[in-house]
Amino acid sequence: MSEPSSNRMTPRYYTYVLVSECDGHLYIGFTSSLKKRVKEHNRGKVRSTKSRRPLSLVYFEEYDDKTSGRKREIFLKSGQGRLFLKSKLEELGIGRRNVNSVNRAVSPAEGGSASGGKTVVP
């Protein structure tokens, strides 16, 4: 997993999806520092995922502005958004039963739409 390296001054925002390797549950979040946030999840620093470790980053979208990223997070947490994620992850062969085979994050550039966000393939 890698965040795009750039010298630009524009902040980047990420909507991301983690999957628990112990029970297959998904966690959807938003951050301005993707690597740091995933590490926090896996170190037990996030109460909502502490008991579900280890977690793997399986999907993310990149945004130029905070508002768009937050809106996308809210959508992905909705019923329609969860259906979208379920379909996308199934297309990519990532499901509850084979979560231990996850070894890299995927972005919408591998077959999806970021709904206005810039997609990044790690």
Q: What pLDDT is attached to residue 119? A: 43
Specify the residue for token string 């206005």: 116
Tokens found for residue 66: 């905070």
Which domain does 99 fall in, by range?
Answer: 13-110
Bridge partners for 17 per DSSP: 28, 59
Tokens found for residue 78: 């909705």
b (16+ CB within 10 A) / e for 62-80? bbeeeebbebbbeebbeee
How many residues belong to the chain? 122
Specify the residue for token string 């998904």: 26
**Number of structural domains in the chain:** 1
User: Does 45 reside within a domain?
Assistant: yes
User: Does 115 reside within a domain?
Assistant: no
Q: What pLDDT is attached to residue 121? A: 32
Instruction: Give the CATH number for residue 89.
Output: 3.40.1440
User: Does 117 reside within a domain?
Assistant: no
**pTM for this prediction:** 0.77
Residue by residue, pLDDT tens for the chain (122 residues) are 555 555 567 889 999 999 999 988 999 999 999 999 999 999 999 999 999 999 999 999 999 999 999 999 999 999 999 999 999 988 888 865 555 545 456 666 554 444 456 443 33
User: Does 120 reside within a domain?
Assistant: no
User: Does 122 reside within a domain?
Assistant: no
